[in-house]
């Protein structure tokens, strides 16, 4: 793993990170929204002091091999994302609903995000700031969230994911965060095993997924 350096993600990394996401998660909801959505999604992590994002870059100049992103205020992050991009996202998502069966099946499972999008642009359409973005998880969640991690398929099992999460945890600790949480879909057993192995504790589990937290 000495062939990689872990550095803060910048806007110059976003195109490669979006392509990496597509390679790592070909069946995921966000992937089916397309590269334009993914680029805007990851670019938002470069805009806020409460967001954190690291990439693993090969010293030989190859494409980004890994990424980890998170936020201390996920609700504010997503409100900003939707408000900034609503004119682009609305027709894009509408078109995907028409042509993509994956989006049609999954869209109603993301009602919390649809409401967040509406709140970002409709005055008075508000919700208490302390309310969780997800409808399915525990009500009292650690505010600092690891929102996503991806490692190129050819580097899985190499230790790069562990190094990325260690660097991410160090970054959060240095920023004064005492604890971090995340959630995992139930079908992602590889990720669940990884987090259990690396010291994360399950705080909630249901048919919707598993929620983990870790002291920093």
> Which one, of 215, 216, 194, 192, lies nearest residue 204 by Cα?
192
Interval 49-85: pLDDT, tens:
999 999 999 877 778 999 999 999 998 898 888 888 8
Each residue's pLDDT tens digit in the chain (216 positions)? Answer: 568 899 999 999 999 999 999 999 988 878 888 899 999 999 999 999 999 999 999 877 778 999 999 999 998 898 888 888 888 777 777 767 677 666 666 665 554 545 554 454 455 545 444 434 454 667 678 999 999 999 999 998 899 999 999 999 999 999 999 999 999 988 889 999 999 999 999 999 888 889 999 999
SS3 141: coil
Question: What letter does residue 108 receive in the DSSP assignment?
Answer: G
- Tell me what pLDDT residue 107 has: 62
- Tell me what pLDDT residue 180 has: 97
22 within 8 A of 31, measured Cβ to Cβ: yes
- Tell me what pLDDT residue 93 has: 73
Q: Beta strands 51-58 and 4-8: pairing type? A: antiparallel
- Tell me what pLDDT residue 95 has: 64
The number of beta carbons lying within 10 Å of the beta carbon of residue 175 is 13
- Tell me what pLDDT residue 125 has: 46
Give the number of C-alpha atoms closer than 13 A to the C-alpha of residue 106, restricted to the C-beta side: 15
């Amino acid at each position: 793993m000495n062939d990689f350096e872990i550095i803060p993600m910048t806007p110059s990394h976003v195109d490669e990170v979006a392509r990496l996401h597509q390679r790592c998660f070909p069946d995921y909801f966000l992937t089916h929204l397309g590269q334009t959505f993914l680029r805007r999604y990851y670019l938002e992590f470069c805009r806020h002091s409460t967001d954190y994002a690291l990439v693993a870059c090969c010293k030989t100049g190859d494409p980004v091999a890994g990424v980890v992103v998170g936020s201390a205020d996920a609700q504010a992050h997503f409100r900003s994302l939707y408000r900034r991009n609503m004119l682009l996202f609305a027709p894009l998502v509408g078109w995907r609903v028409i042509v993509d069966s994956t989006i049609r099946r999954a869209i109603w499972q993301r009602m919390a995000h649809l409401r967040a999008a509406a709140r970002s642009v409709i005055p008075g359409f508000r919700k208490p700031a302390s309310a969780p973005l997800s409808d399915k998880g525990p009500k009292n969640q650690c505010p600092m969230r690891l929102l996503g991690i991806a490692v190129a398929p050819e580097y899985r099992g190499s230790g790069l994911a562990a190094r990325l999460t260690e660097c991410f945890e160090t970054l959060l600790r240095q920023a004064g965060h005492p604890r971090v949480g995340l959630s995992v879909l139930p079908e992602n057993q590889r990720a669940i095993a990884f987090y259990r192995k690396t010291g994360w504790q399950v705080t909630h589990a249901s048919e919707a997924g598993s929620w983990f937290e870790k002291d920093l």
